[in-house]
Structure 1
Amino acid sequence: MKTLIHRSKGSVRYAFKDSIKLLENNKSKQSLIYLFFTYGTKRFKYSTGFKSCFAHWDFKKQRIKNISSLTNKDEVNSSLKKYEEELLEKYRELYNEYGEAVNNQMLKDELDIIVRKKKKEPTNEELDFIGVCNKFITDKGNSITPVTKRVYKQAITHLESYEKEKNVTLTFDIIDMNFYNSFKSYLEDGDFSLNTIGKHIKTLKSFMNYALIEGYTENIKFKSKDFKVVKEITTEIFLTEEEIAEMHKKDLSKNPEYERARDIFLIGCYTGQRISDYNKLSKDDIVTKDGIDYFKFRQHKNKKYNRIVMCPITKEIREIMDKRYNGLPPKKMSEPVMNRYLKKIGEILEFNELVKCEYTKGGKEVRKMIPKYDLISSHTARRSFCTNKYKKGMNIFDIMLFTGHSTEKEFYKYIRIKDEERAAHIAKSGFFNI
């Protein structure tokens, strides 16, 4: 079974699912025939659905032997030849269009059509493009958060607006690079930021993936490397430990809503959790182990990984809970409302330092000097925890134990310190003879 058929930068061979040694010991044992395709450094395998045995297989030709008693040998061999030739031809077409971006899923999609003649399943109600996008959201059900659902619906709203403005009816076949560039320009004309545009393109790709898997389309042009999710690193701030302490001691009792927003935010600064976690802590999340109180809960974003975290209840958190909430965490607050209050609190505290912000909006680069208080949001708490613990010399893997970051790369996105501060941190880490 060493023979390879070379063509268009790819090679095809057929082999049994079971090992040769096993089949040689039992030469009449039937085993599935797999198609193996090697292209570049990648390898792909696919079940042909046919079976044969050691005794009936010609390993040199990679075909069923010409044995008169095998009535369907010609049909099987003809199919194997067809799969081989059509796959190589499809791969050539894909490679010409996508280059190295060709992947196993693309090849599987093509073979599903060639081998299984996969087509869109008939439905009682034929759904149009927007209808399938809405069905995607419905099928997701409770597996997605309300925030994610809102993002999906926003993308649909923009796609519908695009149809009206361009006087076109969107279909799956339209989704190609011409549409990508046109839709991107449309969003830029709407004065959206680059990251917002990228968010809607990412959602569109999710819609298309769903449609492809469910058989509503065979269009895979959205998988091109040029059909990319655009994004940029935006200016994000953190509060220093001194600023957090100042916020903690500020008397806001004359405005209870400001006070509660501040207290929830501070718990985020002391635990390093996402807003979806630190904004809903309750009595049931408090546990005691070896004389230390913790918040113990399953992180919302890491539910599928069953990620349970234990955050120590610091003296500052204990003071907040005991002083105003009968020893319990403050009640949850709407995130948009909380963000609005936090900016007001920052202004009261005179966090007026001007921060240089650079971003892309409406397809143009924007540079602004914005007061620090106007950049404070619920997410600032998590960034502040990560940055301050890092500056104090805490091991990043220990920090990640609490934050739930899956990789160092993701963690470092949260480190908002200047290069000279990072250099000083590394210099004190013991790697240099100082």
Structure 2
Amino acid sequence: MIRTIENSNGIVRFAFKESIKQLENDKKKESLIFLHFSYGGNRFKYSTGYKSCFMDWDFDKQRIKQTKSNIINAIEVNEFLSKIENVIKKEYSRLIADQIVINNEVLKEFLDTYLNKNVKVDNAKPKTFFEFCEEFLSQKKKISPITKRSYKQTLLKVKNFGIDNNEKIDFNSFDKRFVLNFIDYLEENNFSLNTISKHLKNLKTFLIGASEKRLINNLDFNIKDFSVAPQETTAIYLSEEELNKMFELDLSDKKHYELARDVFLIGCYTGQRISDYNGLTTSSIKKINGKDYFTIMQKKTKVKVNCPITKKIKYIMDNRYNGLPPKKMLEKDLNKYIKIIGEMLEVNESIECVSNKGGNEKKEFIQKYKLIHSHTARRSFCTNMYKKKMPVFDIMLFSGHKTEKEFYKYIRIAGEERASHIVDNGYFD
């Protein structure tokens, strides 16, 4: 007996909704593209949602012309057509294999689900800009509490700007005019240039998210407008000599000062952020190839680093904390006490500080000890290791900087000291 095997894939073709004869008379007239699927003597028709015209359509390939067509997303549309052709064939084969009854309703339900057409959207109450931002923050992964607080502060500033200026803030409020007025508002409220830059950067994050969801229809909206170059801050570092004096200072009769000093020094010797060096425990200590390390999962970057427990760190732990890392201290207390310790050590060098606040530039000289704070530890590590000629890539391994550009912001060598460092590296005779 002679017999044939039925095509279990079905046959797909793409064609216009209108007849070819109609479209040939007006070759620029657009028509919906439909998927036609023939299976087991039945025919199923489904709108792709895309349109084309006679002159842009390749009837042999059943795709939009990509070489002569002026359609900039021709490749994207053609890829979509190929994708739904493949998925409906695969689904049809699966249904046959599972002996499921196949009809047009089943195929339509499948494609609607595949293309997310079955997802119900609640259009009863459109989200306001601020509701969108709150939802955006709640869905944002890998965001630290500090960063989240910064975003919320930005939203509060934008809300207050709207209230104080009797202006309703919605998705289409954001244009060049808004940026200039918002900057003026922050300057009038005596915010520094760096704070203004931070708030614009945070706002830009929300606006990019809203723009991607096509919630912004303002033709004057340009994300590039939401940028102000931050001013480089006057940040100092403590030299090896200054750190040694701090290490040797007897603070045994002032235990709260002693704790602040020891926590701070561990930051200077490991190069970590305060969120990582303040509050280390015995579970942080690991032995690698016979040597002790602090194994730290950095809270901001979620990167694991192994910081050697140096002789000085070990001395601090063994002689003052029974072999344990010093306990955690409130950052505000650490910043307060470490400045007092700097004053005790007579770290009195005058540092020129330039700031821009309320739109006005201010220049003043401040004694170095008044500028010491928790972040000085990290800058001290990076700068001192750089001066010791440790390769930048190796320093970054401990500090957790992602790029050299970001790393070099932490190098605080200027003037005569930097010139001397370059000469010592052998670049001049």
Deviation, 1:29, is 9.3
- Write the distance in 2 (CA, Å) between the matches of 1:262 and 1:49: 73
Give the counterpart letter for 1:155 in structure 2: T
Query: What is the CA deviation profile of residues 302-332 of structure 1, one whole-angstrom value per residue up to 9, with x for unaligned ones?
Result: 21xxx32111111110111112222111122
**How far does residue 186 in structure 1 lie from its aligned partner after superposition?**
0.1
Query: Which residue of structure 2 aligns with residue 63 of structure 1?
Result: 57
Q: 223-232 or 289-298, which moves further after superposition?
A: 223-232
1:300 aligns with 2:299: yes
**Which residue number corresponds to residue 343 of structure 1?**
339
Indicate the residue corresponding to 1:396 in structure 2: 392
Aligned-residue Cα RMSD (Å) equals 3.4
**1:354 aligned partner, one-letter code:** S
Distance 2:381 2:366 in 1: 22
- Return the offset for 1:280: 3.0
Q: How does 1:3-402 map to 2 (within 5 A)?
A: 63-65=57-59, 84=71, 121-123=121-123, 125-140=125-140, 143-219=142-218, 222-303=221-302, 307-402=303-398
Structure 1: where are the runs of 5+ without partners?
1-27, 32-47, 53-60, 68-72, 88-115
Distance 1:125 1:425, change over 3 A: same
- Cα gap change, 1:211/1:321 in structure 2, threshold over 3 Å: closer, same or farther? same
Q: Report runs of 4+ in structure 1 exceeding 6 Å deviation.
A: 28-31, 48-52, 80-83
- Show CA shifts across 1:354-393 (max 9, x none): 1100121111111011111111111100111111111122
**Map of 1:410 onto structure 2:** 406
User: Alpha carbons of 1:161 and 1:65: their partners in 2 closer, same or farther (altered >3 Å)?
Assistant: same
Superposed CA offset, 1:236-289 (max 9, x none) = 100111111111122223332222121111001011111121113211111112
How far off its partner does 1:221 sit? Answer: 5.1
Describe the SS at the equivalent of 2:413.
coil
Q: TM-score, normalised by structure 2?
A: 0.71
1:172 partner SS: coil
Q: Assess if the C-alpha contact under 8 Å between 1:205 and 1:222 holds in 2.
A: no
Alpha-carbon shift at residue 343 of structure 1 (Å): 1.8
Q: For 1:127, give the aligned amino acid.
A: K
| Residue 193 (structure 1) shift | 0.5
Change (3 A) 1:49 1:265: farther
The 2-side partners of 1:145 and 1:50 are apart by 48
Q: Mean alpha-carbon deviation: is it higher for 181-190 or for 153-162?
A: 153-162
Residue 423 (1) aligns with residue 410 (2): no
The worse-fitting range, judged by mean Cα deviation, of 254-263 and 231-240 is: 254-263
1:91 aligns to what? Answer: none
| Deviation of 1:422 (Å) | 2.7
Task: Report deviation, 1:420.
Answer: 3.4
Q: Is the 8 A contact 1:265 1:381 kept in 2?
A: yes
C-alpha contact 1:286 1:296 (8 A) present in aligned 2:
yes
> Is the Cα contact below 8 Å between 2:270 and 2:308 reproduced in 1?
yes
**One-letter amino acid of the counterpart of residue 284, structure 2:** D
Name the amino acid aligned to 1:126: P
Distance between the aligned counterparts of 1:161 and 1:49, measured in 2? 50
> Following the alignment from structure 1 to structure 2, what is the Cα–Cα distance between the partners of residues 405 and 280?
21
- Cα deviation, residue 49, structure 1: 9.6
Secondary structure of the 1:370 match is: strand
Shift in Å at residue 162 of structure 1? Answer: 0.7
Which amino acid letter does the alignment assign opposite residue 319 of structure 1?
Y
Extract unaligned runs of 5+ from structure 2: 1-10, 15-31, 37-54, 75-115
Q: 2:209, 2:311 → 1: CA distance?
A: 48
Is the 1:387–1:415 contact (alpha carbons within 8 Å) kept by the matching residues of 2? yes
Q: Deviations over 1:122-180 (max 9, x none)?
A: 3564332222222222223x631111111111112111211121011101111100000
Shift of 1:413: 0.8
Normalised TM-score (structure 1):
0.71
Separation in 2, partners of 1:124, 1:336: 47
Identical aligned pairs, as a percentage?
Answer: 49
Q: In structure 1, how many angstroms separate the alpha carbons of the residues matched to 2:350 and 2:33? A: 66
Residues 124 and 400 of structure 1: CA distance in aligned 2, closer, same or farther (over 3 Å): same
Q: Using the alignment, how far apart are the partners of 2:417 and 2:355 within structure 1?
A: 24
Distance 1:82 1:210 in 2: 32
Partner of 1:105: none
Cα distance change on mapping 1:324 and 1:176 into 2, 3 Å: same
